[in-house]
Amino acid sequence: MSAKQPGMNMKKNAVSILVGFLAAGSALPAFAQSHSGHGMVKPSVTDAAPSGNAPCMTQGDMQKGMDSSKMKCVGPAKKPGTGQDKMQGMDHSKMQGMDQGGMQGMDHSKMQGMGQGGMQGMDHGAGGMQMQGGSAPPDARDPHAYADGFVTGSGLYAIGSKRSLHMADEHSFATVLVDRLEAVDTNSGRSTSYEAQAWFGNSYNKLVIKTEGEVEKGRVHEARNELLWSRAVSTYFDTQLGIRNDAGSGRPSRNWLAFGIQGLSPYWFEVEATGYVSQDGRAAARFAAEYELLLTQRLILQPRVEANIYSKNDPDAGIGSGLANVSAGLRLRYEFSRQFAPYVGLEKYSTFGKTADLVRASGGRASETRVVAGVRMWF
């Protein structure tokens, strides 16, 4: 039987080997088998070489791929328990160095140190790894220690039974904003105008003071003062409730109940809308809006408009029913800092209806253009 014969069936080889053992008794005929997939020769295996014949194949020769068909081994038959009886049932295609697919029929669970569920004897807790739970290690960080363990003596950053750490919207703060403090030049003379707000409180509740007026010849010609409680109702808007007082030289004092809303509308317009009711049944409304157009990070153009409406005539205060007056202007300011910004601008002031008639009757102008220069600041 040729060791190089292609296409030989492994079952036929096994039958040939069995017939050889039965016929010869003590002699093992040589056989060869082609290696499936790699073209390597499968040599014969014997336990020992009988004297007077060619040497038998050894395990080392088998690994080298020598052709066993050219070597004969003649010797006594092997007894059960020796190497020859173990050859039956052996898959020679799975011997070391022959097939890359590995050994068939091997029970990997019986390998030394290996069990069905994994490797035996392995310490999964090696390296100090432990399951979650138990006491914290002695070098664990203190949960009350912030900034690498830094805690002020007053316990500012400590979280305990007496909480001292506050979120930003829980702090109370105070601010004063002088939106307009300006000199006004008109055909009828010069004056000084102002508008300011101050508030104290947190992000949700604040006490607000508003004031606006005009000073002529060292005297307050007219003034509007409001004391309001402001409550946040959304991210950008506050409702306001309080009182308003009107005063001025030669003018009667008027008191109003005030209620309104103030905030930042879409497209970043700052708006105010306030309604007023007086004790004698008068009603009024005030609307104001402004926008900040950043030409640069410091140079800002601010358009602003304000309108006042009254329900009844008040000749003593120089006010008629309906739309009383509207002021619209542009101010260009330069911010040396966010807290201090001088500006210049133009403003158109107009009165309407019966209010305009009262202004003309007193010798004034119903409409005029004003040149302004002033400063905006807050602290």
Short-list 259, 287, 293, CA closest to 271: 287
pLDDT tens readout for residues 346-361: 999 999 999 999 999 9
pLDDT tens readout for residues 274-319: 999 998 889 999 999 999 999 999 999 999 999 999 999 999 999 9
The answer to whether 252 and 245 have CB atoms below 8 angstroms apart is: no
Other C-beta atoms lying within 10 Å of the C-beta of residue 70 = 10
Q: Residue 150 — φ and ψ, nearest 5°?
A: -80, 125
Q: Does the structure show a pLDDT above 70 at 128?
A: no
Structural domains of the chain ordered from first start:
10-97 (no CATH), 173-378 (2.40.160.40)
The 3-state DSSP class for residue 318 equals coil
The answer to whether 223 and 246 have CB atoms below 8 angstroms apart is: yes
Residues whose CB falls within 8 Å of the CB of residue 3, separated by 6 or more in sequence, listed in order: 32, 33, 34, 41, 67, 68, 69, 70
Q: Looking at residue 279, what is its pLDDT?
A: 87
The answer to whether 240 and 262 have CB atoms below 8 angstroms apart is: yes
Q: Looking at residue 170, what is its pLDDT?
A: 72
Q: Does the structure show a pLDDT above 60 at 4?
A: no
Residue 7 region, left (φ>0) first, then alpha (ψ -120 to 50), else beta? left
In single-letter form, the type of residue at position 331 comes to R
Q: What is the mean pLDDT of the chain?
A: 74
pLDDT tens readout for residues 322-347: 999 999 999 999 999 999 999 999 99
The answer to whether 313 and 339 have CB atoms below 8 angstroms apart is: no
